[in-house]
């Protein structure tokens, strides 16, 4: 028997993505602890082999140290201290990007692999239309992985999380901006999955939520590269997934890659105040295509494959309406 309290939860989505070694990464186990069934689609690759960092221009920002936040604000303090994610010192800064009047916050543990400059640079490269859904950003040490608190949009990055991981996690924050009706739970998204024959990669096969986030990364790559998929990938076998995404207001390129987070699209973004001054030069521009892979067999080479993972779902705090989600909550 399900109690009413079992409906209430904070949604956590935890996933371990990769351990980076130079240009490739070591596989770690792919485990789903709970919840949604894996997909039966064909995977196009064991992971993503492209780098979005150069394709995404960073927004400049100004930083303000926040020294008192640890004692007054739970979002960072909760994860700082003995036995917590950060046992070393934690540096907290407020960021004001040139394309948004609402401040962002980055909490960096002093033993983190990414420097503060690196973390701020990668956050700054997340397109503003997507960045506005992100809550606080935690930057931590350890094996490379990341997770998103789906209720708050807070993202925790461990190790040296690459740009596609930042886009992937931000896409979760967007997907669950309305926690009771995520896009990845919608009938059209699941219809799209049922009509397609492939997903982006192995990680997308975890479930429809991961497929959404990975397809979001792929779609942003395609938008930046004049409609071309990354080398070694095809769009035809996942055309319904891409068509679904491009029907969403988020992927309007003028706004997604624009110069302001003040977008009145009713998507429940967390940062919606426009900057004091709009930079007219921050407009959408495509980038040169990546060179093709030398052989079609290259993707089968594990040295080309970047992402592996395991995911753990924890649910507490958000009212979930479907029986399936309720079952997930009490497992």
Considering the complex, state which of residue 15 and residue 136 has its C-beta at the smaller distance from Zn ion: 15
CB 169 within 8 A of CB 153: no
DSSP string of 235-293?
Answer: SGGGHHHHHHHHHSGGG-HHHHTSS-S---S-S--S--PPPSS--TT------PPPPPP
Nearer to Zn ion by Cβ, of 15 and 196: the residue is: 15
For Zn ion, which stretch binds (CB under 5 A), given 10-18, 37-45, 271-279, 280-288?
A: 10-18
Positive/negative CA dihedral, 226, 230, 235, 238: negative
Q: Residue 149 interacts with Zn ion (CB under 5 A)?
A: no
Q: Does 211 bind Zn ion (CB under 5 A)?
A: no
Task: Name the minimum Å distance from CB 190 to Zn ion.
Answer: 17
Token output for 88: 């070393």
Q: Among candidates 103, 105, 106, 107, which has minimal Cα distance to 80?
A: 107
- Closer to Zn ion by Cβ: residue 228 or 310: 310
Question: Which span (25-33, 176-184, 193-201, 211-219) binds Zn ion, by CB under 5 A?
Answer: 211-219
If the CB atoms of residues 15 and 201 are measured against Zn ion, the closer one turns out to be 15
Residues in the chain: 331
- Cβ nearer to Zn ion, comparing 97 with 166: 166
213 is a contact residue toward Zn ion (CB under 5 A): yes
Site for Zn ion in 39-78 (CB under 5 A): none
Q: Smallest distance, Å, CB 139 to Zn ion?
A: 18
In whole angstroms, give the CA distance from residue 42 to residue 82. Answer: 44
Size of the site for Zn ion (CB under 5 A): 2
Per CB under 5 A, which region of 9-17, 151-159, 235-243, 263-271 contacts Zn ion? Answer: 9-17
C-beta of 213 vs 262, nearer to Zn ion: 213
Residue 282 or 307: the one with the smaller Cβ distance to Zn ion is 307
- Per CB under 5 A, the segment of 14-22, 53-61, 220-228, 264-272 that binds Zn ion is 14-22
Longest dimension (CA), the chain: 58
- Contact segment (CB under 5 A) with Zn ion among 2-10, 213-221, 227-235, 294-302 equals 213-221
Q: Quick one: which segment of 66-74, 112-120, 210-218, 247-255 binds Zn ion (CB under 5 A)?
A: 210-218
**Residue 140 near residue 156, CB atoms below 8 Å:** yes
Q: Which helix (H) or strand (E) holds 199?
A: strand 198-199
Q: Among 11, 15, 135, 238, which residue interacts with Zn ion (rule: CB under 5 A)?
A: 15
Q: How far apart are CA 214 and CA 230, in angstroms?
A: 13
6 Cβ neighbours under 8 A, 6+ residues apart? 326, 329, 330
Q: Per CB under 5 A, which of residues 217..256 are in contact with Zn ion?
A: none
- Per-residue DSSP letters for 27-59? -----B-SSSPPP-SEES-SS-----TTTSPPP
| Residue placing its CB nearer to Zn ion in the complex, 13 or 325 | 13
Sites of contact with Zn ion (CB under 5 A)? 15, 213
């Amino acid at each position: 028997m399900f109690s009413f309290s079992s409906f209430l939860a904070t949604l956590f989505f935890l996933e371990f993505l990769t351990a980076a070694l130079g240009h490739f990464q070591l596989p770690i186990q792919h485990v789903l602890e709970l919840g949604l069934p894996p997909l039966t689609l064909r995977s196009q690759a064991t992971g993503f082999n492209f780098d979005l960092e150069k394709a995404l221009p960073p927004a400049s920002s100004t930083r303000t140290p926040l020294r008192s936040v640890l004692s007054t604000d739970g979002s960072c303090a909760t994860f700082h201290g003995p036995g917590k994610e950060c046992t070393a010192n934690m540096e907290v800064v407020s960021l004001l990007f040139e394309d948004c009047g609402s401040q962002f916050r980055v909490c960096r543990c002093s033993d983190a692999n990414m420097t503060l400059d690196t973390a701020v640079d990668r956050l700054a490269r997340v397109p503003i239309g997507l960045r506005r859904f992100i809550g606080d950003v935690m930057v931590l040490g350890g094996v490379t992985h990341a997770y998103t608190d789906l209720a708050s949009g807070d993202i925790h990055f461990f190790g040296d999380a690459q740009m596609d991981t930042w886009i992937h996690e931000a896409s979760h924050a967007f997907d669950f901006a309305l926690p009771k009706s995520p896009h990845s739970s919608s009938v059209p998204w699941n219809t799209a999955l049922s009509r397609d024959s492939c997903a982006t990669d192995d990680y997308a096969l975890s479930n429809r939520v991961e497929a959404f986030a990975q397809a979001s990364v792929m779609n942003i790559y395609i938008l930046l590269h004049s409609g071309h998929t990354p080398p070694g990938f095809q769009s035809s076998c996942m055309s319904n997934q891409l068509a679904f995404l491009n029907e969403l207001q988020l992927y309007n390129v003028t706004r997604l890659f624009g110069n302001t987070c003040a977008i009145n699209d009713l998507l429940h973004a967390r940062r919606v105040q426009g900057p004091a001054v709009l930079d007219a030069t921050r407009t959408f521009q495509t980038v040169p295509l990546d060179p093709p892979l030398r052989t079609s067999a290259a993707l089968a080479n594990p040295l080309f494959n970047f992402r592996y993972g395991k995911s753990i779902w924890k649910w507490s705090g958000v009212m979930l309406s479907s029986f399936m989600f309720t079952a997930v909550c009490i497992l």
